[in-house]
Amino acid sequence: MDHPVVSREEWLEARKALLAKEKEWTRLRDELSAERRALPWVRIDKEYVFDGPDGRMSLGDLFAGRSQLIVKHFMLGPGWADPCVGCSFESDHLDGMLVHLESHDVSFVAVSRAPYPEIAAAHKRMGWRFRWVSSHGGDFNYDFNVSFTPEQIAAGQATYNYRQGAAPIEEMSGRSIFYKDEAGAIFHTYSSFARGGEVVLGAYALLDMTPKGRQENIRGNLTDWVRLHDRYEAGGQVDAGGRWHAAEDTCCQ
């Protein structure tokens, strides 16, 4: 790997110059976070029902006695053999956070459109501990613009990441945040999609510090290299929609 090599003194000078930019970025991030918290809210009056290990539950039930809820819109559609690689990569970062989030009045749950038995099988296979429930048969995923009908896809009229256009696949990733007040009213406060999820990817933060960085030189995203954590030794490829294919499947060549 060819790279400039300098004295320790020259390195310190360059490092301090970069540190000034890093500090400015940190201040801007804090300002942006404050603006995010200041966004207006939307009251949720529609009834949503989910299926989980303890049966049917409402959106309010997902708060589990806390006032704040993070929903991970996890890409796992009905009949999928494997969960989305990108959503799985994100999920691999989550279990260690749960105790800290819960102690800070925040509940976390993943929601997918696959029927619950299919979710339960993927949950067990991947070894995650966070809650994961099904919105199968309901409007939740469609209302929050992470699932799309065949008609929307064919017409190029899907809305994702606040833009309308073509959707490459029937399920997409995202995160939505909700608040429940003392009277039980629920409000939607924030959602992020696409690269908005990178803020929770600790592996990316560490890779960004390394000399080679992310090394995403094909599509320019994690599908270039990330695999389900039980598939790294299995070969195969990941398509542009985040779905893993065995080595003998040539669909993503």
pTM: 0.92
Residue 179 within any structural domain of the chain:
yes
Say if 129 falls within a structural domain: yes
Q: Which residues contact 164 (CB under 8 A, 6 or more apart)?
A: 157, 158
Count: domains in the chain: 1
Residue 142 counted as domain residue? yes
Residue 66 in any domain: the answer is yes
Q: What is the CATH number of the domain that holds 101?
A: 3.40.30.10
Owner of token pair 């399920």 = 171
Domain with 151, as residue range(s), is 42-197
Instruction: Give residue-wise pLDDT tens across range 24-36.
Output: 999 999 999 999 9
Q: How many CA atoms lie within 13 A of 160 on its CB side?
A: 25
- Dihedral pair phi/psi, residue 204, rounded to 5°: -65, -45
Per the CB < 8 A criterion, the answer to whether 101 and 70 are in contact is: yes
* 141 within some domain: yes
Is 213 among the domain residues? Answer: no
Per-residue pLDDT of the chain (253 residues; tens, 9 = 90+): 889 999 999 999 999 999 999 999 999 999 999 999 999 999 999 999 999 999 999 999 999 999 999 999 999 999 999 999 999 999 999 999 999 999 999 999 999 999 999 999 999 999 999 999 999 999 999 999 999 999 998 888 899 999 988 777 899 999 999 999 999 999 999 999 999 999 999 999 999 999 999 999 988 888 888 899 988 888 888 888 888 888 766 454 4
Residue 107 in any domain: the answer is yes
Classify residue 74: in a domain, yes or no. Answer: yes
The four Cα atoms 73, 76, 78, 81 give a dihedral, to 10 degrees, of: 180
Amino acid at 117: P
